[in-house]
A and B are shown apart, each in its own frame.
Chain A
Amino acid sequence: MKLLQFLLLATLGSILCYTVLDMPPRGEIDAPASRMESPVGTPVAGAYYIQHAYEDTHTPNMVAVVLADYRSVDTFGEVVVVFAGVMTCFFVLRRRRP
């Protein structure tokens, strides 16, 4: 059983190493993640964010701009999820005065 576990881990690890070695280097201009157009020819939103983030908001951190300005409705949903969890704990767990 130990041998089977070791072989399974070795197989999965070799698959992982093969996949990582096949990835393009960071910042390569021809990689699919940094193209201006998707494979079907539509414009990629990330390129717009990279080009316009500082001009639109004067904020140097691109991630904060995407999180709180371009995609702020999504972030609002996350805060609502946190608030819903707090309200669930409040109503289920907190005991009131009898």
Chain B
Amino acid sequence: MISQTQSPIIEIAARGLAPVIQLLGIYVFFHGHYGPGGGFQGGVLLAAGVLLLRLGIGASHSQAQVTSKSTVALCALGAFIFAGTGLVAILWGGDFMDYAYLPVQWLEAADLRYYGILFVEIGITIAVMTGLIAIYDDLLGIGNAGNN
């Protein structure tokens, strides 16, 4: 791997820290059911890991984790997961975002709401993470035609 920065310290530190930050982000996201945390905070931490790689080892090398082309589409996917959870509840006879009407027969209503909250948080995490990366890439012109 050819380094894009002058300093090996920055590159090694970024490569070492980014997975730890992302692991902490996943922990914060899944801990949202039991304590402080949730989709927004976990998504921001996951995006911080990717952005540290973008800064530390360069824009083209950090494309291996999240490519600049897929960020906007993934952000739309996250918002669609959120909206889709509510729309499925409408289609099966409930109100918008009433997770008790999700079509899983063998779960009671309270557990259905538990998993409905989990799905919603997954959508928030994907949308916030890829949204922040997309804004960073757009501001710096990463992913433009012939400008990596």
- Interface membership of A27, Cβ < 8 A: no
Contact across chains for A75 and B34 when beta carbons are under 8 A apart: no
- Interface membership of A28, Cβ < 8 A: no
Chain A residues with CB below 8 A from B143, complex form: 94
Contact across chains for B135 and A89 when beta carbons are under 8 A apart: yes
Chain B, interface size category, equals 35 or more
Chain B residues with CB below 8 A from A57, complex form: 110, 113-114, 117
Contact across chains for A96 and B145 when beta carbons are under 8 A apart: yes
Given known pairs A76-B86, A79-B79, A95-B144, the reply for A65 and B117 (CB within 8 Å) is yes
Q: In the bound complex, how far is the Cα of B143 from the Cα of A57, in angstroms?
A: 43
Of the candidate stretches B14-22, B57-65, B124-132, the one touching chain A is B124-132
Task: Give chain A's interface secondary structure class.
Answer: helix
What 1/0 flags go to A63-98 for Cβ under 8 Å of B?
Answer: 111011100110110111011011101100111111
Chain A, interface size category, equals 20 to 34
Chain A residues with CB below 8 A from B38, complex form: 63-64, 67-68
Q: In the bound complex, how far is the Cα of B76 from the Cα of A90, in angstroms?
A: 12
Chain A residues with CB below 8 A from B76, complex form: 83
**Which listed residue, A60, A73, A75, touches B124 by the CB 8 Å rule?**
A75
Contact across chains for A85 and B82 when beta carbons are under 8 A apart: no
Q: Report 13 cross-chain contacts, Cβ distance below 8 Å, ordered by A residue.
A: A58-B110, A58-B114, A59-B33, A59-B117, A60-B34, A64-B33, A65-B117, A68-B121, A73-B96, A82-B75, A82-B131, A90-B72, A93-B138
